[in-house]
A and B are shown apart, each in its own frame.
Chain A
Amino acid sequence: MTAPDETSTGSTRPGDRVASDAVSTGRVARPSTELLQAVQAAEASERTTVLRRLLRDPQAMTTIVLLLVILILGLLAPIIALHGPNEAQLSMVNAPVGTPGYPLGADESGRDIYSRLLYSVQTAAVSALIGASVALVVGVTAGLIGGYFGRVTQGVTEWLFSLVMTFPGVLMLIVLMPVTKGAYQATMLIFGVLLSPGIYRIVRNLVLGVKNELYVDAARVSGLGDLRILGRHVLFVVRGPIIIAAAFLCGSAIAVQSGLAFLGVGSLQVPSFGAMISSGFRNLYIVPTQFLWPSLSLGIITASLVLLGNALRDVLEGSQPKPAKVGAGQRVLAPEAADGGAYDSRLLDIQDLSIAYPDPNGGLNEVVRGVSLDLDKGQILGLVGESGSGKSQTAFATLGVLPNEAMIVGGSIRFAGRELIGLTDAQMAPLRGKEIAYIPQEPMSNLDPSYRVGSQLVQGVRATLGISQREARERVLALLARVGIADPQRTFDSYPHQISGGMAQRVLIAGAVASRPRLLIADEPTTALDVTVQAEILDLLRDLQAELDMAVLLVTHNFGVVADICDRIAVMQSGRIVETGTVEEIFRDPQHEYTMMLLGSILDENVVRTDAPVDAAGGKS
């Protein structure tokens, strides 16, 4: 074969975040439609560069402009200042605002406040530069080393930085005055070191996350040295948080430098906001405005830096919080005119269902397009398709648990004659868990790790059946025995992490069938399990289905599972059902070419590889 047959269409183009939460079973989950949508949106927003998004953010824009203006004024000080920073004029002592040559007045020594403000900006900029760079250089280097290398290195760096963290910062700087000889540059150098543990922590944690990524392993196997891996693969990931932290570091460096100058620590020759505030403070009752100017400047600068840091965080880390799930139910674009009447004898009747996700351009991207399917009492329907075909979305819509971004744009879902679309969560509640039950793909992530298995089940049973604690407990124990758990009491008393994945799936099945539901929706219930466990779970589902006469909607990508348990099949391809029929019909005589292609892709059971290994001396490309 020469050409790749998997097409890179819009919905099958998942990004790098997809598999991050699928590690628990050691097997990689197929990307879900929801994730594909989220990734697509993120991808589109990444295409608009970070810089452009930053410029579009009003908070970032305002603060950047403010800081730039202040910085340029400071740099131009030698040109636009009217006097030298320390040029004192006895006749001008405490000159009022507006005095010719002294637009903001003069201070207690007769120095021009306007000029001193400009020169103070220079001091602040240099402080920020030294403090932040030292903190970044020390913190990032140590964080990379401490996070990437082995336990001992990590332990040593950790201990060292914890020690630095215990130093009382400002006090240290004052005590070290004899060493720094009062030069604020030297003080900021030390302060940078004192600030570095914060950066170290951020970087180390990020590195710990990245270094187990498969691409880092792949780089190692490719023969890359540690330094190259750090520089090429790891440093890139930590750049965002570092940029954010830098803004805050600049702010605190300036604040501390001013604080020290206010206290009179350091050279009195250096113009700085702190020194000016101090002098204004002494004259507060004589000329209050002397205090105002430097305080205002310092306030604007530090506030801008903090706000800029926050804006950077929003842009770089995309921290727009998702709206919380509220009780209004799923979003419906145009509620159908309810024609009422329970004329339908089918248990589940989905007509023309369409579900869409908002795309980054403000439009809607349909992931389910006019799906119709029905399910009778006691029937098992397999909903089959590849990643992104919309099969899980259809199941979720039936349960009323579509994600908030999703929107039902048309169609109807009737359960026992009742329209489910447009119901609020409160109206759905009596159905969910009682009439319609659900088994998820990842059993472990559907059990709360901080509660015992038994208490979670009891809670669910009591919520749906309204029975006493004791009755519920007995019921749950009986159910656990029914789903084939050898020692129900022990499982009842276990925490989720103490039981295996197969056991967890049995527990969830026990919970799902507790209320004898009429419809069971199983979303890839065996995909995360080993084949031997899968076979047992399928046996269990089959037995329970016959016993309770449930209808089952089984979402799966595995034709073997379908052949094992289903009565009917619906094949989905990019949001549409392309073929439905009984299991026998579809396997024996598929009509749609997509179904044929899928069935043709199944690896033949009876074909073993027969060609002999290539001779070792044979050609190498």
Chain B
Amino acid sequence: MTLLDVRDLRVAFPGRGLRAAPVEVLHGVSLDVRAGETVGLVGESGSGKTTIGRAVLGLVPTSGGRIAFEGKDIVGLNARQRRALADQIQVVFQDPYTSLNPSLTIGDILSEPLVVQGASAKDARSRVRVLLDRVGLPANAASRLPREFSGGQRQRIAIARALAPRPKLIVCDEPVSALDLSTQAHVLDLFIDIQKETGVAYLFISHDLSVIRHISHRVAVLYRGDIVENGPASEVTSAPAHPYTQRLLLAAPVADPGEQRRRRAARRALLETQGAMS
């Protein structure tokens, strides 16, 4: 079942200056996410991948196209209708240091979305305990402040906050990019475990092809505001068809000196042929 359906999405930001023309950052992007699956969205900085996520979350206005969630158009909802979607679509942001209010306790942060939905304080408390346990944090974390936690632990808290209202879709915007290598693998595994358990779908945004490969069922490659390639993860990340995806794949260094030497040579050869073609 298609959960999220994005068709010909366009987003433009107002230009700088009084009469400057708006700058279009997404030029008609289409993608869909089915229930329970992960769609990886990979692209460089400035490709517009974060903007897609923010448009789905209703944090940036769109200038064209439609975004449907469970068949209903969610573009241009008023504030009340949008808030009603909060228990359907959630988010985990990139930066674990600024995505948690430094002055609220973890318990307050996690119960906030529950209380908004009308849960009693007691229900919220017990749900927070379950959530903390689910993301592998001790129950006494609820009474502590964000600054007492490491980056990886904060990202777990952010995941718990996203899970709190039992959403059907979580937009994950580079959720492991700011984490150390060893932490990154654990947090990715947590994402996968939670998905298997709850059937939540992820729109997983990252610049790192190896992260995308690890977590995605399907992958869309975004390049300068257009989706240039879209398909099953195994195909897109191992035998890409589009020249840009090919470049992207060969540019990522692999942690093996011999293999990396071969990849480097392959990349140079590819660049020469692509250069000759263009």
Contact = CB atoms under 8 A, between A and B. Distances in A.
Instruction: Decide if A and B are genuine partners.
Output: yes
A614 B195 contact: yes
B214 A607 contact: yes
Contact of A618 (B34, B36, B83, B153): B36
B242 interface: no
Most buried by A among B45, B164, B233, B255: B255
Contacts of B66: none
A564 B253 contact: yes
| Residue in B134, B146, B183, B215 with the greatest tally of chain A CB atoms within 10 Å | B183
A214 B254 contact: no
A16 B186 contact: no
B156 A603 contact: no
Nearest to A610: B234
Interface string B51-79: 00000011100000000000000000001
Nearest to A234: B101
B113 interface: yes
Given A563-B257, A601-B185, A532 B251 contact: yes
A615 interface: yes
- Chain B interface size band reads 35 or more
B193 interface: yes
Contacts of A314: none
Given A5-B183, A6-B186, A619-B197, A560 B252 contact: yes
A57 B2 CA distance: 62
B166 to A, nearest CB: 6
Given A8-B149, A564-B264, A609-B213, A531 B180 contact: no
B101 A215 contact: yes
A598 B182 contact: yes
B112 A224 contact: yes
B4 interface: no
A583 interface: yes
Interface string A83-94: 000000000000
Contacts of B253: 534-535, 538, 558, 560-561, 563-564
Interface string B147-188: 111111100101001011110000000100110111111101
A411 B209 CA distance: 42
A39 B130 CA distance: 31
A233 B101 contact: yes
Given A4-B153, A603-B214, A531 B97 contact: no
A19 B36 contact: no
Interface in B98-149: 98-104, 112-113, 116-117, 130, 134, 136-137, 146-149
Interface stretch (B5-13, B24-32, B87-95): B87-95
Interface string B235-248: 00110000000011
Contacts of B59: 217, 220-221
Contact of A218 (B45, B99, B260): B99
A6 B152 contact: yes
Contact of A614 (B164, B199, B216): B199
Contacts of B185: 601, 603
A26 interface: yes
A561 B257 CA distance: 10
Contacts of A220: 58-59
Contacts of B180: 6, 30, 386-387, 557
Contacts of A25: 45
Contact of A598 (B57, B181, B188, B259): B181
B237 to A, nearest CB: 6
A15 interface: yes
Nearest to A536: B251
A43 B147 contact: yes
Contacts of B152: 4-6
Contacts of B183: 5-6
A616 B209 CA distance: 26
A559 interface: yes
B263 to A, nearest CB: 9
Given A6-B182, A222-B165, A531-B207, A583 B257 contact: yes
Contact of A214 (B93, B181, B207, B214): B93
A5 B185 CA distance: 10
Contact of A603 (B84, B87, B190, B213): B213
Contacts of A599: 255
A215 B100 contact: yes
Nearest to B176: A603
A219 interface: yes
B79 A217 contact: no
Nearest to B181: A601
A393 interface: no
Instruction: Identify which of B101, B161, B165, B250 gathers the most chain A CB atoms within 10 Å of its CB.
Output: B101
Contacts of B99: 214-215, 217-218
B116 A605 contact: no
A233 B199 CA distance: 31
B102 A603 contact: no
A614 to B, nearest CB: 4
A163 interface: no
A452 interface: no
Q: Most chain-B CB neighbours within 10 Å: which of A4, A29, A539, A621?
A: A4
Nearest to B40: A609
B37 to A, nearest CB: 3
A602 interface: yes
A329 interface: no
B181 A386 contact: yes
B256 interface: yes
Interface string A403-423: 000000000000000000000
Given A603-B185, A615-B199, A564 B101 contact: no
B20 interface: no
Nearest to B156: A4
A429 to B, nearest CB: 36
B95 A19 contact: yes
Interface in A8-29: 8, 12-16, 18-20, 25-29
B44 A7 contact: no
A562 interface: yes
Contact of B45 (A26, A225, A386): A26
A557 B251 CA distance: 17
A311 B161 CA distance: 39
The 5 closest A-B pairs by CB, nearest first: A223-B86, A560-B253, A616-B35, A613-B37, A222-B113
Interface of B: 1, 3, 34-38, 44-46, 50, 57-59, 79, 83-87, 89-91, 93-95, 97-104, 112-113, 116-117, 130, 134, 136-137, 146-153, 156, 158, 161, 163-166, 174, 177-178, 180-186, 188-190, 192-193, 195-201, 207-211, 213-217, 233-234, 237-238, 247-248, 250-257, 259-260, 264, 267
19 contacts: A14-B150, A16-B147, A29-B178, A30-B178, A214-B93, A222-B164, A232-B112, A534-B251, A535-B250, A560-B254, A561-B253, A583-B257, A602-B181, A603-B184, A603-B213, A605-B254, A609-B38, A609-B216, A613-B37
